[in-house]
Amino acid sequence: MSQAAASGHATADVYESPLTPESWSKLAMWIFLAGDAMSFGGLLAAYGALRYSMPSCTDPIQLPCWPMPSNVLGIALTGFMTFLLICSSVTMVKALAAIQDGQPKRMCMFLGFTILGGIIFLGLQAYEWSHLIHEGLALSHNPWGTSQFGTTFFMTTGFHGCHVFGGVCYLTTVLIKGLRGGFSATNYNGVETAGLYWHFVDLIWILVFTFIYLV
């Protein structure tokens, strides 16, 4: 028994993650995020290539042309959505800092704010989409220019929105575990790993906002 226990303990030490000694889950999350970044990179690279392949729309419209995002999309609204995600990233790091300092209640409060930020973001995105669809933007056509504008817009922002939804669900499970006393100053890896995912969602939105809405 003692030999087996000693052997088990030695095995745990041998298999400690070399890059993230605190947990394997953190390394796994980083590897997942690297792969996920490639997915977004593919979408943004395709967007850039399509955008570069045709001129911007002028008046009168000469097809094929790419509609100017600032003339079609609501920049003020998405600017606010960007601000919201940045704020939610701050509340996420505050949640991690709180549990590292041994304050689980404070962590739960900040996690709640983070989830709320994600839900409001999703609500605003639904509002934006419904407004644009009402104006005629669709996957296959739109009244302003090339059909690829709508395709790339919905694909990229939709894929990101799915990530935000996944993040809200993920953080909710972390919050429930936190409320049940599952985290402490010496056991916070779950919060840190969830935080990595949420910050990645924020980071990707920063790039999506610039490429899709501003450029």
Partner 1 sequence: MDESQRRKEHYEDEHVTTLHPNYMGVFWWLLALTILELICGSLPTGPMYPYFAKVFLLISMAVGKAALVALYFMHLRFETRTLGLIAITPMILCAFFLFMLFPDSGWR
Residues that bind partner 1 (CB under 8 A): 16, 19-23, 27, 30-31, 33-35, 37-38, 41-42, 44-46, 48-50, 52-54, 70, 75, 79, 82-83, 86-87, 89-90, 92-94, 97, 100-102, 185-189, 195-196, 199-200, 202-203, 206-207, 209-211, 213-215
- Considering the complex, state which of residue 97 and residue 124 has its C-beta at the smaller distance from partner 1: 97
**62 conformational bin, left if phi > 0, alpha if psi -120 to 50, beta if neither:** beta
Main-chain dihedrals φ then ψ at residue 118, nearest 5 degrees: -65, -40
- Considering the complex, state which of residue 38 and residue 169 has its C-beta at the smaller distance from partner 1: 38
- Considering the complex, state which of residue 16 and residue 130 has its C-beta at the smaller distance from partner 1: 16
Sorted by sequence, the CB contacts under 8 Å of residue 93 that are 6+ apart come out as 195, 199
- Considering the complex, state which of residue 68 and residue 179 has its C-beta at the smaller distance from partner 1: 68
Nearest approach, Cβ of 188 to partner 1 (angstroms)? 7
Q: Residue 40 corresponds to which tokens in the numbers above? A: 């977004």
Which amino acid, one-letter code, is at 58? T
Exposure string over 144-160, b if 16+ CB within 10 A, otherwise e: bbbebbbbbbbebbeeb
Nearest approach, Cβ of 117 to partner 1 (angstroms)? 13
- Considering the complex, state which of residue 119 and residue 207 has its C-beta at the smaller distance from partner 1: 207
- Considering the complex, state which of residue 78 and residue 125 has its C-beta at the smaller distance from partner 1: 78
Nearest approach, Cβ of 121 to partner 1 (angstroms)? 15
Nearest approach, Cβ of 27 to partner 1 (angstroms)? 8
Nearest approach, Cβ of 149 to partner 1 (angstroms)? 15
By C-alpha distance, which of 154, 131, 128 is closest to 141?
154
Cis peptide before 55 (omega within 30 of 0): no
Nearest approach, Cβ of 206 to partner 1 (angstroms)? 5
By C-alpha distance, which of 154, 92, 94, 85 is closest to 118?
85
Q: Residue 179 corresponds to which tokens in the numbers above? A: 């409320």
